[in-house]
Structure 1
Amino acid sequence: MVGQRVLLLAGFFLSEFLLSEAAKILIGSSLGGSHHLLLDRVSEILQDHGYNVTMLRYGAEFLIPGMKNNEKPYQVISCLPPEDYEKEINQTFNYFMTEALHGREALNNFVKLMEQLGIRCSDLLRRDDIMDSLKNENFDLVFVDAFDFCSLLVAEKLGKPFVSILPTLFGSVDNGLPSPVSYVPAIGSLLTDHMDFWGRVKNFLMFFNFFISQWRIQSSFDNAIKEHFPEGSRPVLSHLLKKAELWFVNSDFALEFARPLLPNTVYVGGLMARPVKPVPQEFENFIAKFGDSGFVLVALGSIVNSYQSQEVLMEMNSAFAHLSQGVIWMCKASKWPKDVKLAANVKIVDWLPQNDLLAHPRIRLFVTHGGMNSVMEAIQHGVPMVGIPILGDQPENIVRVEAKKLGVSIQLKQIKAETLALKMKEVIEDKRYKSAAVAASIIRHSHPLTPAQRLVGWVDHILQTGGAAHLKPHALQQPWYEQYLLDVILFLLMVTLGTLWLCGKLLGIMGRWLCGASKLKKA
């Protein structure tokens, strides 16, 4: 019996190894920025575990200007759309960012950007050289970013099963997950899971607002769908999202509020975490100047770093001058106002090893824009935060940071030197923030499997079982009125009203009969 078990186990692991070694995975990446960085990490992990990974990169890195393309361990297929397309996208994106940094993140501006991405996607789908090459590869699985609608359409065009990764919190897209509005905050509500009556009213209204917004955003790809899919078999993006075999979510319960999950939903927050390396000597020399006071790390993301206004830079510089700690600040020297003297305790750099600095024993605070990758790295190393959210999911992320007592927030338009300095000193001096950050780090580290192991293990499972039909409830195929039992409620209401009407009629007839009988007796 023991020998048989050993042979069975050996056969299982051998078949798993051969499967993972032979499996071919296509990863679509057309958004750039932090989205590309996450998919790059996913590609590296899958390639390192024996998969044959190919990344389709379409479009310039308009979210990280000047991003370098280093040599990759996986295969890359790169193609650029026509120059006028990229020019139009860059102009639209620049306008969107300028407006957002002034507190005007309007849905209309975002829809215009998505329309440009839809035009660019249509160009990719009509590139027969690229699409034929992908078809000939006969991939086993496609891996997509939930926000990259073009990759969803590529997977559908190839007729291949796909898994999706959500780079942000739940609720950013509708993937069919149960979302009780009584305690699951809708995107844009800026609520926690502890809602009073008026909070639930707001959340209920924001829930419907979300679906209207999603319809407007997804309709920006309608022309691409009409052009490249025959009538009668045209996909609907909202249906495609629910078609994913698996959902990987770039978050963790150390940050997210507890909520219902489906069996095909897996948290993999922390994928970006890499082994910690010693920080470069120039940073060590700077940190050493401040002894036990330690240092503050400031990184507001590549986008804000490129679009930041000089007025905000001046206010932040003045705020940092009030600290006894050193400040390492990712800020482009070319953006620095020439007539402003840098504070004596501040070091500005174009690039910094964020993960390694967050792991440094003398770090006291992380000032962040609240991007999910940055927040997860801070939680990974137990570092409290001051959040300056700008756009997208950042405000929602920072709401959770505050709810979990991992830090505080301040709005970009409210940044004044005195206010920011007080916020930073509060988090540094009140040890409760550090304690909460350490507790979140323990939650994050105490999973039985690492994020990379969960990612690879579930991809293995999907490939071995031929999909995830056994993990997806029938609810994903039901229309919304069936899911919420509106048809049942309507039927029961009609039966109840019909019964009451019939009873009323019978009582009326009986009443008239009794009255008639009484009159006959008197006569």
Structure 2
Amino acid sequence: MKNIVEELSRRGHAITVITNSASPTVADNSTTASYRFEILQVPHSKEQFNEMMDEILRYWTYDMPNDNIIQAVLKMKPLMETSMEFNMATARTLFSNTDLLERLKTEQYDVILSDPLTIGFEYLAEQLDIPFVLSLRFSFAHTMERLCGQVPSPHSYVPAPGLSYTDQMDFTQRLKNTLFYLSQDIVFHLVAKMTLDVFYSELREYSHWLNIRVMLEALVDRNHSVTVFICSASPSVDYTKKERFSFKVFHVDFSKEEMHAVTEDFVEYWMYEAQNASMLEVGLKIWEIMGKTTQMQLDMCDSMLRNQELLDTLRQSKFDVLLADPMMPCSDLMAETLGLPYIISLRFTFGFTLERFCGQMPAPPSYVPTPPLSYTAQMTYSERVKSFLMLILQSFMFKLHSFMNLDSYYSEIYGKPTSLCEMIGKADIWLIRTYWDFEYPRPFLPNFKFVGGLHCKPAKPLPTDIEEFVQSSGDDGIVVFSLGSMIKNLTKERGNTIATALGQIPQKVLWRYSGEKPDTIAPNTRLYDWIPQNDLLGHTKTKAFITHGGTNGLYEAIYHGIPMVGIPLFADQPDNMMHMKSKGAAVMMDFNKLQSKDLVEGLNAVINDPSYKENMMKLSRIHHDQPMRPLDTAVFWIEFVMRNKGAKHLRVQAHNLTWYQYYCLDVAAFLLSVVGLILVLLIKTCCFCIRKCCGKGKPREKTD
């Protein structure tokens, strides 16, 4: 690496070397070198790094030759974990240094040259929008070259690095070579899945945090002081990164990996199994996943609400409002404990349970389909039956879960009998992340405010390489394809099915996908770890958007007027896509039953049938025709609550009624009693009159 850098410097290139303070090989020779150094101050020392390397070399030299593959993997695992911790510490230091990142952007570098032993620089290249070059000897079993670089390495005649074989292997050696390749692939995928994928997910953002973040940045623009309260195991928020707002981190006893694994379990089930399961089986699986998350949630609540020192610090800060996503547990209890107004940001909950039971929002099952069922407002009789049964099932599960796991905890923390819904029901404003361009007409309450598409904005110019690929499409245009930030990989069969279909259309395709490259990928399709989705959807050459149906991507498509092909995977996505299909702006595919011809037909329909574009442009006009931008609406209501110390005047009286008062059962009982009493009196009176009348007409018998 040094030879390359010095040769580039000799040729007149300006070079900056980014290294860390614990590097044993790179010193800050800025006084003598012809290139500049940026030293990242990391928490570990050179001595600690050297000690780790010595342990690896000692094992490699003296013990590994006598160990089998399994023993070697088990003994190397803790050493590799330490190495990974050091690597991630360096990357976190880099991406938390906002001043350095801004300086790197303004200095307009042409390329990043990196050794893959240092992670994170590929992401830096993406952030700076510049090319990325790797300098590499090899990785064990060529895992990085094969799985990331797509370099072929046939086991039959390419010996795996780590084994001292030639390319002329006998049968036994080829067998060992194949087994070594397989073992290294397993190790690589385990390290990537359990450590690095989670780490890179931290650098990117889940959709819930993205929506909250947009609002926070708008509040900072209006000179508000904002603090983000976050747990140490957050899989989506990098609290070590310097931001315009501050972070208050509380420690929990589980890791990011454990928290991420629960989400992965849910996603995997919904993508590959839920579609073939019955309504009862889906409900039971959701119950099982809820059980796994409950303990994590209660641990988070304990870390917040039983930490008196932390609570005192928050009280002294004198906040004006608490804004939260219900995915963050006990935020309602925190608002009550601190005596703050409470605002919720929400798309929806299954069965509208939170909205109905806690927010008192009406949801008549006769014309409001029950999530997660993907029905329209115009349901058939059988659909209304299923929707009603789903409503009952979701209501029962929610009530049972609250009663068994949360209500007693809430009462203990609050100091007197209460419940989850009583606390959440105190929310002053509910910011609902949809709008009437998307929603079916249905009743809502005064404190439910629509802010769908608050993150949308005009498109910016594309990076040079992407713009060149887009322009190469000619009059046919491009198709943008993304399954969201949470889907990193597909099965090989699904990937090949989709890639085959994309190769059959004349448009160029930009596919956001970081999994294994499909075998059937065509020349018109390019894979990207990340794409500027909003900017691509706003490009004049974009003809269609293939999407999983996440709310954020859906609203970007509405904002720019791009018809969609929906491949919903889990959660709210089937419901989202059914909304768009019913409005004539999208076609919808079943992920597990999808064939190449189905995707080709769907794409040809939305691209060539003008009705899809016309319907989407109609929705886009409705979206833009609002008194205020959705983000301005959200900020207005947050500031309204701050100015007025709440918005209790918008909360309906239903919050203070018992269930029998809400349904007027006491009134019905009284009226029935009155009617019953009148009927009894009427019957008694009639009987009395009849007896009197009949008695007068009867002759008396004479007696002696």
TM-score (norm 1): 0.86
* 3-state DSSP of counterpart to 2:345: strand
AA aligned opposite 2:494: V
CA distance in 1, matches of 2:632, 2:288: 39
Structure having the higher Rg: 2
Residue 152 (str. 1) matches residue 325 (str. 2): no
AA aligned opposite 1:471: L
Distance 1:148 1:402, change over 3 A: same
Query: Does structure 2 retain, via aligned residues, the 8 Å contact 1:161–1:245?
Result: yes
Residue 349 (str. 1) matches residue 528 (str. 2): yes
Residue equivalent to 1:36? 209
Name which of 297, 301, 307 aligns with 1:122.
301
Name which of 606, 613, 617 aligns with 1:434.
613
AA aligned opposite 1:102: Y
CA distance in 1, matches of 2:701, 2:585: 87
Residue 131 (str. 1) matches residue 315 (str. 2): no
CA distance in 2, matches of 1:319, 1:224: 53
Residue equivalent to 2:344? 164
Moved more, 179-188 or 252-261: 179-188
Residue equivalent to 1:72? 243
Give per-residue Cα distances to partners, 1:342-371, cap 9 Å, x unaligned.
211111100111110110111111111111
How far apart are 1:161 and its partner, in Å?
Answer: 1.4
Moved more, 201-210 or 295-304: 201-210
CA distance in 1, matches of 2:562, 2:404: 40
How far apart are 1:58 and its partner, in Å?
Answer: 1.4
CA distance in 2, matches of 1:510, 1:189: 61
Distance 1:491 1:223, change over 3 A: closer
CA distance in 1, matches of 2:317, 2:680: 66
Query: Does structure 1 retain, via aligned residues, the 8 Å contact 2:365–2:388?
Result: yes
Residue equivalent to 2:498? 316
Runs (4+) of structure 1 exceeding 6 A deviation are: none
CA distance in 2, matches of 1:288, 1:130: 55
Query: Does structure 2 retain, via aligned residues, the 8 Å contact 1:405–1:433?
Result: yes
* 3-state DSSP of counterpart to 1:301: coil
Residue equivalent to 2:233? 60
Distance 1:243 1:113, change over 3 A: same
* 3-state DSSP of counterpart to 1:303: coil
CA distance in 1, matches of 2:261, 2:408: 21
Moved more, 485-494 or 406-415: 485-494
AA aligned opposite 1:303: M
Matches within 5 A, 1:327-346: 327-332=509-514, 334-337=515-518, 340-346=519-525
Give per-residue Cα distances to partners, 1:71-130, cap 9 Å, x unaligned.
3211122344224x5454344333222212213253223312431432332342234443
Moved more, 430-439 or 185-194: 185-194
Residue 205 (str. 1) matches residue 396 (str. 2): no
CA distance in 2, matches of 1:220, 1:295: 52
Query: Does structure 1 retain, via aligned residues, the 8 Å contact 2:215–2:635?
Result: no
How far apart are 1:406 and its partner, in Å?
Answer: 1.2
How far apart are 1:230 and its partner, in Å?
Answer: 4.9
CA distance in 1, matches of 2:590, 2:236: 22
> Which structure is richer in relative contact order (CA contacts within 8 A, separation 6 or more)?
1
Give per-residue Cα distances to partners, 1:312-347, cap 9 Å, x unaligned.
111111111111111111100x4335xx14211111
Distance 1:194 1:336, change over 3 A: same
Residue 243 (str. 1) matches residue 426 (str. 2): yes
CA distance in 1, matches of 2:645, 2:302: 32
How far apart are 1:278 and its partner, in Å?
Answer: 0.4
Residue equivalent to 1:25? none
Name which of 659, 682, 685 aligns with 1:506.
685
Distance 1:502 1:292, change over 3 A: same
CA distance in 1, matches of 2:479, 2:400: 41
CA distance in 2, matches of 1:172, 1:387: 26
Query: Does structure 1 retain, via aligned residues, the 8 Å contact 2:341–2:645?
Result: no
AA aligned opposite 1:318: T
AA aligned opposite 1:180: P
Query: Does structure 2 retain, via aligned residues, the 8 Å contact 1:187–1:396?
Result: yes
Residue 183 (str. 1) matches residue 363 (str. 2): no
Moved more, 445-454 or 270-279: 270-279
How far apart are 1:398 and its partner, in Å?
Answer: 1.0
Residue equivalent to 2:460? 277
Query: Does structure 1 retain, via aligned residues, the 8 Å contact 2:498–2:599?
Result: yes
Aligned-residue identity in percent: 30
Residue 45 (str. 1) matches residue 225 (str. 2): no
Distance 1:221 1:371, change over 3 A: farther
CA distance in 1, matches of 2:503, 2:616: 25
How far apart are 1:463 and its partner, in Å?
Answer: 2.2
CA distance in 2, matches of 1:86, 1:76: 17
CA distance in 2, matches of 1:351, 1:110: 29
AA aligned opposite 2:475: D
Moved more, 385-394 or 461-470: 461-470
Query: Does structure 2 retain, via aligned residues, the 8 Å contact 1:35–1:167?
Result: no
TM-score (norm 2): 0.65
How far apart are 1:522 and its partner, in Å?
Answer: 8.0
How far apart are 1:447 and its partner, in Å?
Answer: 0.4
Distance 1:308 1:213, change over 3 A: farther
* 3-state DSSP of counterpart to 1:413: coil
Query: Does structure 2 retain, via aligned residues, the 8 Å contact 1:383–1:437?
Result: yes
Give per-residue Cα distances to partners, 1:273-304, cap 9 Å, x unaligned.
13421011111111122211111111111112
AA aligned opposite 2:270: A
Gaps of 5+ in 2: 1-201, 275-281
CA distance in 2, matches of 1:436, 1:292: 22
Distance 1:504 1:33, change over 3 A: same
AA aligned opposite 1:138: K
CA distance in 2, matches of 1:134, 1:275: 38
* 3-state DSSP of counterpart to 1:335: coil
* 3-state DSSP of counterpart to 2:387: helix
* 3-state DSSP of counterpart to 1:164: strand
CA distance in 2, matches of 1:365, 1:417: 17
Query: Does structure 1 retain, via aligned residues, the 8 Å contact 2:478–2:507?
Result: yes
Query: Does structure 1 retain, via aligned residues, the 8 Å contact 2:294–2:405?
Result: yes
AA aligned opposite 1:357: L
Query: Does structure 1 retain, via aligned residues, the 8 Å contact 2:372–2:571?
Result: no
How far apart are 1:401 and its partner, in Å?
Answer: 0.7
Query: Does structure 2 retain, via aligned residues, the 8 Å contact 1:47–1:73?
Result: yes
Distance 1:246 1:226, change over 3 A: closer
Residue equivalent to 2:273? 103
CA distance in 1, matches of 2:628, 2:220: 19
Paired residues, number: 485
Residue 81 (str. 1) matches residue 252 (str. 2): yes
Residue equivalent to 1:257? 440
Residue equivalent to 1:472? 651
Residue equivalent to 2:376? 192
CA distance in 2, matches of 1:94, 1:378: 26
Matches within 5 A, 1:285-434: 285-304=468-487, 306-332=488-514, 334-337=515-518, 340-434=519-613
How far apart are 1:438 and its partner, in Å?
Answer: 0.5
CA distance in 1, matches of 2:555, 2:287: 30
AA aligned opposite 1:77: K
Two-structure CA RMSD over aligned residues (Å)? 2.6
Residue 222 (str. 1) matches residue 406 (str. 2): yes
Moved more, 456-465 or 403-412: 456-465
How far apart are 1:425 and its partner, in Å?
Answer: 1.4
Residue equivalent to 1:266? 449
